[in-house]
Amino acid sequence: MRHWLKKFLLLDILRGLRVTFRQQGPRQITTEQYPSDRPFVAERYRGAPRLNINPESNETLCIVCDLCAKACPENLIVVGSERDPVTKHKILTHFTYDLSRCMFCGLCEDACPVDALELTQDFELASFTRQGLVWDRQMLEEGPRPVEFKH
Ligand code: SF4
Ligand code: SF4
């Protein structure tokens, strides 16, 4: 009888709503003025990937070891190279990173022996197309160009 009364009076729903509204008092609500104010991002947040370059020589830090691609459980990194006929060193020809399949686990950056690949705190990764989520070497080195909103 008590069980049915509880059901009839929707007591569980009312209890749930009480919790909801308790957290929605005007003092609890804050409006972030995004994008003019950047939200706080946790220090260890892993976001947009970046392929670092040497600021002095402007050359990539990547030594084309392929360890990041091998470490990735999603196989979404493709590192292309060719061998310099003179020095016999590998030269990076292309680097693609498919963000649409990335789970930002960080295994690739951990595997990189020279800190060439890094997951940054940039979080604006949206794209209108799937192809737009496949970042090439230029995009990874220069970063996405965010649209600036002005009042
Ligand atoms: S963060 Fe994880 S899923 Fe994304 S590319 Fe790196 S290893 Fe792969
Ligand atoms: S692990 Fe680092 S150095 Fe090796 S291919 Fe990947 S980004 Fe380049």
| pLDDT mean by block of 10 residues, the chain; 151 residues | 74 90 78 85 94 95 97 98 93 96 97 97 90 95 74 61
37 alpha-carbon distance from chain centroid? 20
| Cα-to-centroid distance, 112 and ligand 1 (Å) | 12
Q: What are phi and psi of 71, to 5 degrees?
A: -75, -20
Long-range contacts of 113-116 (CB under 8 A, 24+ apart): 113/63, 113/65, 113/67, 114/61, 114/62, 114/63, 115/52, 115/61, 116/51, 116/52, 116/60, 116/61, 116/62, 116/63
* Residue 104, pLDDT score: 97
Domain boundaries, the chain: 49-142
Is domain 49-142 in CATH 3.30.70.3270, yes or no?
A: yes
pTM equals 0.78
Ligand 2 atom with the shortest distance to the CA of 117:
7
Q: Which residues pair with 83 in a beta bridge?
A: 90
Q: Is the CB of 102 under 6 A from ligand 2?
A: no
